[in-house]
Amino acid sequence: MVLRKFFIAIACLLAFTSGQAYLSAAGLSGKESKKVLKLLSKEFDVDRSDLELTPVTTPGLKSDYIEGVSRLAKKGEPLGYVVSAVGMGRYDHFYYLVYYNEDREVEFVRVMKYYSDHGGEIQSKRWLNQFTGYDGGDLDYGDEVQAISGATLSAGSITKGIREITIRLQNSNL
């Protein structure tokens, strides 16, 4: 049930009107929706109301990892793409956002919901920063991506997800 509510919440997050998300009907609390808006506005140093997300539907972007893709703009000026994604740890799913610039390179990754008691180290900004600049080349857990003791499945899942999402985004007609 929690998983379903989160999927609905992400879908609603991607349906913005005048820069405001209406997520309460989807079961996502106002605090959680503000967290996503705050994250994006802080990254771009703009007011929340200046950001616009427009959902993108392209068949080539469907995957087990991708929940939704939106075009991000600031007052009509394109900034890039925001991808909401899902990964799998040992027992539980987790949810993360990937922001890509106009050249479809990873700018930042943030884990939004992590339910498991183990593997939470993947939420560290320090660890997630190693994906910055990734544009579709080799990306293997334990080689290009630093391994994390106790988070092998979660870290491997997010690594594989980011690689697949990036390649699909690079090959899409957006």
The model's pLDDT over 12-49, given as tens digits with 9 standing for 90+, comes to 444 333 233 333 222 234 455 466 667 888 888 889 88
| d(C-alpha 140, C-alpha 125), whole Å | 19
Instruction: Please name the residue that has the structure tokens 């925001």.
Output: 82
| d(C-alpha 174, C-alpha 121), whole Å | 33
Question: What is the predicted pLDDT for the residue at 23?
Answer: 31
Q: Are 93 and 115 in contact (CB under 8 A)?
A: yes
Mean pLDDT of the region 65-84: 90
| d(C-alpha 171, C-alpha 174), whole Å | 9
Indicate the number of domains in the chain: 1
Q: What is the DSSP string of 45-105?
A: TS-GGGEEEEEE--GGG--SSEEEEEEEEETTEEEEEEEEEEEE-SS-EEEEEEEEETT--
Question: What is the predicted pLDDT for the residue at 158?
Answer: 95
Which residue range(s) make up the domain with 96?
2-171
